[in-house]
Each structure stands twice: as C-alpha cells, then as structure tokens.
Structure 1
Amino acid sequence: MSATRASIVAELADELLGRTVPYTLRVAVDGPDAAGKTTLADELAARIGTTRPVIRLSIDQFHRPAAVRRRQGVLSPAGYYHDSFDHDAVIDKVLRPLGPGGNGHYLPGTFDHRTDSATRAATERAPADALLLFDGVFLLRPELSAFWDVSVYLHVDPEVALARARVRDLAVFGSVTEVERRYRLRYLPGQRLYRYDARPAERADVVLDMNDPLVPVVVRR
C-alpha cells in the first residue's frame, strides 16, 4: 500500500473502532465488480482485528443456484441485479441475528456457486464486541440498506472496472473476448440498474473513488 492508501485505511479503521453498539457492528463494503472491495475489507480486517474481533463475510457466500441466477438469460443485466444472491438469507442468517435484539448466532454462508450446491456451514457465535465486515455487490439495495450500521461504497469508472476484469477474470471466462462480452452485456449494465434503483453513492456513509487503487480519493466521509 502507498502511504496515502495506508492512511485512508488507518483512518477508516479507527473510525470503525470508535463505533460502539450493544451488538455486532455491521459494516458493508459495497461497489461494482473489480472495484477492490475484497482487498479493502481484508485490509480493514487485518488492522481492526488486532484490537477487536472481526467477522469477515462476503455476498459471494450467498449465491442462488445457477438455474435461478440465469433464469432471465445468462447475459441478462436484470438477472444479474435481481437474481444473483439470496438476500433473504443474508438478512435472516446474518444481519438480523447480529443486529439489535439478535441472538448473535450467524451462518457464514449458504451456497457455493463453484459447485452449485448448498454449503453445510455450521452456525457460529459472534464474539462480544465483534465487528462484521461484509463485502460484495448490491449491498445498499433497498431491502438490505437499513440493516447496515456503516456503509462504504467504492466507485470506479466502468472502463476501469473492465480493464481490471480483463486480467482478474481471464481464467474464469477463458478469453479476454468473453470477459468483455460478459461485462458489457451483463455486469456493467447490471450495475447501472443498481445505481438507478438504489443510489448507493448517495446512501453510503463513506464514498471512496478507487480508480487509482494506490491513491484513493475520499469523495465523502
């Protein structure tokens, strides 16, 4: 990390550590594909975890079955936005039990999209004073937004996201041509639907411009 990125991560971590609630603090790290959500959440977890217990989860552990994800078509933007993830499970198995009045027992995942099968993860108990760092796309959609105590949104321009995806997702899709086809027809338009529907950059507590990941720009905090 550059000093600039390190200082932003440190400041954000300190802000989160300063939040005290009588339950698990639920933090969303949201943003489009290839924005750097997982990396930032991992950096925050590493820093916060030296002081406070961290629960580290991702929307990728709550996919729906492939037949549901693709029922509107493999390249459908609406299908990507509406059908990809089991938001009811995220709410019922994670956000409610970790939130006000919850019992602190959460499920770390429900579905493995790589095998297209349900996971057999056991229910876990949140430690006292724990902090949940949950990363993924579409986390500030209307049905989820009220459950976060703090939300961070990472902005990247669509062409920047696509340039990163050409490298990151090459092994997944097999060729640069297929990466570009998927992004231009499904993922980027799906993100446009999300921005129109949920206005995540307006809802989020913190907005970071991550077009240059080494020198993030604080848009709002």
Structure 2
Amino acid sequence: MERGTRGELISRLAEAIGTVRAAHPLRVAIDGPPACGKTTLADELGDFLRARDSRVIRAGIDDFLFPRAQRYRRGQYSAEGCYFDAHDRAALCRVLLDPLGPGGDRRFQHAVYDRDTDTPSSPPTATAPADAVLLFDGVFLLRPELIDRWDLRIFVSVPFEQTVDRARARDAALTGSATDTTAIERSWRNRYIPSQQLYFATARPTDHADIIVYNDQLQRPAWDIRPHGDGCQGEEARANRP
C-alpha cells in the first residue's frame, strides 16, 4: 500500500488505466459507499486524462435510478430496497456498458433517468472512439450482475461513520447553513450503511477490486494497486479469490 498526495494518487490511477489493453473503450468502475468521495475522484481523474488528450466519457449510477415509487416501494429507509430496487442495471448494461464492450457498436447513452423530474431520460445516442475511457462512479458496481462489465475496478474505501460526517457537511455546503441533520442520520443509519453491509456480505466488492483507494484522508490518501493477474479484468479475466 502506498500513501501520498492527491495529485500522486490521480497520477497513479491514470498510469494504471494506461496499462489496460482492450480493443474497445475502457470501462472503469469507481465504486464505494455514499459520501466516500468517488464522484470527486472520478471528476479529478477525468480532468487529468483529458489534459493528456484522452477521450473521456463520464457517467454515474444516479442517472440509472428507477423512479422513486419503485426504489422506495419497500419504504424510504429500507436497506434491502436500496440494494435491490434502486438501480436499473439492465438498462445500464443495454445502453452503456455493453455497447462499449467487446463486440459492441460503441453507440451509447449516458443516462436513462432524470432525478430532478423523476422521469425517464433519453439523451441523444453518441458514438465513442475506440480508445475512449468511460469513468463510471456509483454504489454497488461490483455486484455479480455487473462484475464482468468492467475492464478496471476501483473501490473507494472510507469508514462508514466518516461517510455520515461527510454527508452532514455536504448538506450544509449545499444549503449554505447548518440544517437539521435528523433525516440524513436516519437515512445513513437505516438505509445506506445497512445496504452497504449487505453488499459486502453478498458481493465482497473489495475482493474483486483491481485498485482500492483509502480515502479517509482526502489530501493524503492511500492506495493499493494489485497486479492485473490478481484482480478482475472484465470479460477478459475472472477472479479466483475465495
């Protein structure tokens, strides 16, 4: 495991991406619990790669949610609902991951859902260059239904208690003032943390990650980059770890 500056982390991740060879756009999963910093990390990595003339596609799991009525059908604070009902994984594969994968035509859509209006979304279809890099951030990306759709798998690790603190701080930053954090606390305690515990128990995501980023110290992160033979590389290799 290495520890260094934020810039060193981004540089090492870009270097790792550059070592993966594929005859199709590279599909990179950036997984981790809510408020662990995965979206920020994906954005930073995207900026770094673009500055070096890489063609980057940015997308995230929030654009592949089911409508609220479906994802909360077991209740607003249901952990099982969060894990099983929240995300349209079939659409994610159909419109984005499979078109960019082996044998795909590279014609993709980056979203199927508009969270602001809670309605389906159908953005124009685009064609990805063969050497493009998809940086896709979200929760539960290394579950069995998706595990073979990624060419590189990054897991952002933060203690669950720290994600609660970050969620409170994020909410205060969005509203511009201190707010009642009761709803955030309840969501994390009853829905998000238990759903992550369910995910770890059933899918063991860190066993299948090629790279683990320990993001507890934002400016001094640590990381563990496993040799390609150790991790899972999309359809082209499978994990044999117990």
The residue number in structure 1 matching 2:80 is: 78
| Structure-2 separation of matches of 1:213 and 1:31 | 15
Indicate whether 1:120 and 2:122 are aligned: yes
The correspondence for 2:131, drawn from 107, 129, 136, is: 129
Which residues of 2 match residues 95-174 of structure 1 at below 5 A?
95-170=97-172
The AA in structure 2 aligned to 1:77 is A
Query: 2:208 corresponds to which residue?
Result: 203
Q: Which runs of 5+ in 2 are unaligned?
A: 227-242
Which sections of structure 1, spanning at least 5 residues, go unmatched? none
- AA partner of residue 67 (structure 2): P
TM-score by length of 2: 0.87
Please tell me whether residue 14 in structure 1 is matched to residue 19 in structure 2.
no
**Distance across 1 between alignment mates of 2:76 and 2:181:** 18
Superposed, 1:63-74 pairs within 5 Å as 63-74=65-76
Matched to 2:192, the amino acid is Y
Identify which range, 118-127 or 135-144, moves more after superposition. 118-127
Which residue is equivalent to 1:89?
91
- The question of 1:175 aligning with 2:176 is answered no
Q: What corresponds to 1:186 in structure 2?
A: 191
**Matched-pair identity in %:** 42
Whole-angstrom CA distance in 2 between matches of 1:186 and 1:28? 23
Contact between 2:4 and 2:222, CA under 8 Å: does it hold in 1?
no
Indicate the larger mover: 18-27 or 91-100. 18-27
Distance 2:180 2:18 in 1: 42
Q: Secondary structure at the match of 2:145?
A: helix
TM-superposition CA deviations, 1:164-221 (whole Å, max 9, x none)? 001113558x621111011101111111111111111111000111111111111443
Give the residue type in structure 2 aligned to 1:4.
T
Q: Which has the higher helix share?
A: 1
Does the Cα contact within 8 Å between 2:109 and 2:122 map onto a contact in 1? no
Distance 1:21 1:157 in 2: 34
Could you list the structure 1 runs, at least 4 aligned residues long, displaced by more than 6 angstroms after superposition.
none
For 1:36-47, list aligned pairs within 5 A: 36-47=37-48
What whole-Å deviation, never above 9, does each CA across 1:102-130 have from its counterpart, x for those lacking one? 00001110001221101131111102310
1:57 aligned partner, one-letter code: A
**Given that residues 17 and 48 in structure 1 are in contact (C-alpha distance below 8 angstroms), is that contact kept between their aligned partners in structure 2?**
no
Q: Is the 8 A contact 1:110 1:120 kept in 2?
A: yes
Partner Cα separation in structure 1 for residue 19 and residue 48 of structure 2: 13
| CA apart distance, 1:86 | 0.3
TM-score scaled by length of structure 1: 0.95
